């Protein structure tokens, strides 16, 4: 039994080594010498105990493998800041983990601010070290360039000084971290392809389908070049990842299932093609497919804890960011019916909300998504709202101060509210990116709440509210000093 255990540990250890075999391990002794001989290097400064580092490592290793044959060469390396690389990490002011930096021949170039998934890392690094647009001189060059799983954009120009060519190169420099660009002035290549003084977007073979064109030719009626690329890049239903989520805008319909173009491209396209078959008839909506595992947090936001079976789960947001869930099991017909109802505005939005409290008589009122308008938007009072998380240490520290504030202002024309932002949908126009987040909403300007950035002691809150209250408080002057109510004066 003990032998089996150690054998298992060996296999695990060996698999980890295998996964990272293409990542160069650097130390204080080897750092400078190794980087000087390497043309381009991305270095990850990490700590073995760091959770973010552990999550990044397999993606980092995959990216290193993808970049092995790149021209110019790109190497991915790592430095352990807790052991053999302490001095190097101090030299480059590494204060958090993981920190990534780009080097060229030993010289520091810039901090890495790109994606954290393998494909995104590889694409970002290629864009950093190579030309924005690759020059193609002959037919084989184009064939080789298009042999990719990514969308490619190619410019065909008689002369490099054409206005269209100049604009193309400007756009390629701007979008080089997102899009693969190439260009040619080779007459034979243009004659072979049948393109001259134009730009062509090629969809990779892995994403081609019978419902949309595999090749899209640019013309001036499509707007400027960047607009043309942005509009056509993802096709009817784009592959949405954690790195590109910001590029998909509402109104957005997303199909969540086992999206995996590495291990199961056939199965992935089976469902994507059915999504596209219906989506092509709804040009006013944006569509995407996403991995259900990578986006479990989004599924949770729609009240879905687990996706059973292989069929896609359909979730959507309209232009006002309201959420909608397709409750029926996916089929071409149920999907089409859902989209028609969504466009017609007859679907009931999904609202993530705790139950409305039965007793809400305390000095600090509890708001949930279902009663937010009643307690905040329509209460005809100045309102201070705390958006908190139950697990947040800073929120727990603030709780007794906040309760005392509620007591101090119990008889004022001010409402003190708290809202669990982990269990309820946060309504617009409020934005919560950390906890606790506080907003001041004047009674005559509820659509324009102001983020509270002041101190978090009792006196800080009272001074702020006394100064900004629509009407002067009864028990405090405008500077927050306690005063006797006028009814008590002789």
Residue 19 belongs to a domain: no
- Tokens describing residue 340: 């028609």
Residue 177: per-residue pLDDT: 87
Residue 295 belongs to a domain: yes
Q: Are residues 316 and 409 both part of a single domain?
A: no
Residue 12 belongs to a domain: no
Q: What is the CATH number of the domain that holds 458?
A: 3.40.30.10
**Percent of all residues in the chain with a pLDDT value above 70, rounded to a whole number:** 95
Q: Are residues 124 and 30 both part of a single domain?
A: yes
Q: Which of 50, 81, 89, 141 is catalytic?
A: 50
Q: In the chain, how many domains are there?
A: 4
Q: Are residues 372 and 280 both part of a single domain?
A: no
Q: Are residues 250 and 318 both part of a single domain?
A: yes
Output the CA torsion sign for 393, 394, 399, 400.
positive
Residue 310 belongs to a domain: yes
Residue 222: per-residue pLDDT: 87
Which residues are CB-contacts of 216 (< 8 A; sequence separation ≥ 6)?
A: 200, 201, 203, 228, 232
Among the listed residues 44, 49, 127, the one whose alpha carbon sits nearest the alpha carbon of residue 82? 49
Beta strands in 293-448 (DSSP E): 313-317, 323-325, 364-367, 382-388, 414-420, 437-441
Q: CA-CA distance, 363 to 99, in Å (whole number)? A: 46
Is 395 tagged catalytic? yes
Is 141 tagged catalytic? no
Q: Are residues 245 and 340 both part of a single domain?
A: yes
Rounded to the nearest integer, the mean pLDDT of the chain is 92
Which residues are CB-contacts of 210 (< 8 A; sequence separation ≥ 6)?
A: 273
- The confidence band for 4, taking pLDDT boundaries of 50, 70 and 90, is very low
Note the pLDDT tens digit of each residue in 139-175: 889 999 999 999 999 999 999 999 999 999 999 999 9
Q: Are residues 124 and 159 both part of a single domain?
A: no
Q: Are residues 332 and 400 both part of a single domain?
A: no
The domain boundary residue, chosen from 233, 258, 291: 233
Residue 19: per-residue pLDDT: 63
Residue 17 belongs to a domain: no
Note the pLDDT tens digit of each residue in 19-58: 688 999 999 999 999 999 999 999 999 999 999 999 999 9
Residue 10: per-residue pLDDT: 41
Residue 221: per-residue pLDDT: 85
The residue assigned the tokens 């879905």 is 304
Cross-strand pairs, 364: 416
Residue 139: per-residue pLDDT: 81
Question: Quick check: helix, strand or coil at residue 152?
Answer: strand
Burial 289-325 (b: 16+ CB within 10 A, else e): bbbbeebeebbeebebeebeeeebbbbbbbeeebbbb
- The confidence band for 422, taking pLDDT boundaries of 50, 70 and 90, is very high
Q: Which of 81, 89, 141, 392 is catalytic?
A: 392
Among the listed residues 324, 237, 318, the one whose alpha carbon sits nearest the alpha carbon of residue 278? 237
The domain boundary residue, chosen from 344, 373, 404: 344
Residue 96 belongs to a domain: yes
Is 89 tagged catalytic? no
Averaged pLDDT, 238-250? 94
CB of 39 closer than 8 Å to CB of 105? yes
Averaged pLDDT, 404-421? 96
Q: Are residues 243 and 320 both part of a single domain?
A: yes
Least confident window among 9-23, 72-86, 358-372: 9-23
Averaged pLDDT, 112-122? 91
Residue 140: per-residue pLDDT: 87
Residue 400 belongs to a domain: yes
Above 90 in pLDDT, residue 181? yes
Note the pLDDT tens digit of each residue in 301-350: 999 988 888 999 999 999 989 999 999 999 999 999 999 999 999 999 99
Note the pLDDT tens digit of each residue in 432-481: 999 999 999 999 999 899 999 999 999 999 999 999 999 999 999 999 99
Residue 486: per-residue pLDDT: 60
Q: Are residues 304 and 249 both part of a single domain?
A: yes
Q: Are residues 374 and 441 both part of a single domain?
A: yes
Q: Are residues 245 and 225 both part of a single domain?
A: no
The domain boundary residue, chosen from 112, 129, 146: 129
Q: Are residues 28 and 120 both part of a single domain?
A: yes
Above 50 in pLDDT, residue 2? no
Helix axes 163-175, 225-232, angle to 10 degrees: 50
Which residues are CB-contacts of 456 (< 8 A; sequence separation ≥ 6)?
A: 398, 401
- What 8-state DSSP symbol labels residue 377? I
Domain encompassing residue 185: 134-233
Is 81 tagged catalytic? no
Residue 487: per-residue pLDDT: 55
Residue 352 belongs to a domain: no
Averaged pLDDT, 279-305? 95
CB of 465 closer than 8 Å to CB of 459? no
């Amino acid at each position: 039994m003990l032998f089996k255990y150690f054998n298992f540990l060996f296999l695990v250890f060996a698999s980890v080594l295998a996964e990272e075999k293409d990542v160069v391990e650097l130390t204080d002794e080897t750092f400078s010498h190794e980087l000087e001989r390497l043309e381009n290097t991305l270095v990850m400064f990490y700590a073995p105990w760091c959770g973010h580092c552990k999550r990044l490592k397999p993606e980092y290793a995959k990216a290193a493998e993808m970049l092995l044959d790149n021209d110019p060469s790109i190497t991915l390396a790592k430095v352990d800041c807790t052991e053999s690389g302490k001095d190097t990490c101090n030299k480059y002011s590494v204060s958090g983990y993981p920190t990534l930096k780009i080097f060229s021949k030993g010289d520091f170039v810039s901090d890495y601010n790109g994606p954290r998934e393998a494909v995104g890392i590889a694409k970002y690094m290629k864009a950093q070290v190579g030309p924005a647009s690759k020059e193609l001189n002959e037919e084989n060059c184009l064939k080789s360039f298009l042999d990719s799983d990514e969308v490619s954009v190619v410019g065909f120009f008689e002369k490099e000084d054409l206005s269209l060519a100049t604009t193309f190169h400007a756009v390629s420099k701007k979008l080089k971290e997102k899009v693969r660009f190439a260009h040619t002035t080779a007459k034979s290549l243009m004659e072979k392809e049948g393109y001259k003084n134009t730009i062509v977007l090629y969809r990779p073979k892995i994403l081609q389908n019978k419902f949309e064109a595999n090749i899209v030719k640019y013309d001036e009626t499509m707007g400027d070049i960047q607009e043309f690329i942005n509009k056509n890049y993802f096709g009817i239903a784009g592959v949405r990842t954690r790195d590109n989520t910001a590029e998909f805008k509402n109104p957005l319909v997303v199909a969540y299932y086992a999206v995996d173009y590495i291990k199961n491209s056939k199965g992935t396209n089976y469902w994507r093609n059915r999504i596209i078959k219906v989506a092509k008839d709804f040009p006013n909506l944006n569509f995407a497919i996403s991995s259900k595992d990578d986006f479990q947090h989004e599924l949770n936001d729609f009240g879905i804890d687990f996706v059973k079976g292989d069929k896609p789960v359909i979730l959507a947001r309209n232009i006002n960011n309201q959420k909608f869930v397709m409750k029926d099991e996916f089929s071409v017909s149920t999907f089409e019916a859902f989209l028609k109802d969504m466009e017609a505005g007859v679907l009931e939005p999904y609202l993530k909300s705790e139950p409305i409290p039965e007793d809400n008589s305390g000095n600090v009122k509890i708001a949930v998504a279902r009663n937010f308008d009643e307690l905040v938007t329509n209460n005809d009072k100045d309102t201070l709202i705390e958006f908190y998380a139950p697990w947040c240490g800073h929120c727990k520290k603030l709780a007794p101060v906040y309760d005392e504030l509620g007591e101090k202002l119990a008889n004022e024309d001010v409402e003190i509210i708290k809202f669990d932002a982990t269990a309820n949908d946060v309504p617009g126009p409020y934005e919560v990116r950390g906890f606790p987040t506080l907003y001041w909403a004047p009674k005559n300007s509820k659509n324009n709440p102001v983020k509270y950035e002041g101190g978090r002691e009792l006196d800080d809150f009272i001074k702020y509210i006394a100064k900004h209250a629509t009407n002067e408080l009864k028990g405090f002057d405008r500077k927050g000093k306690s005063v006797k109510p006028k009814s008590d004066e002789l």
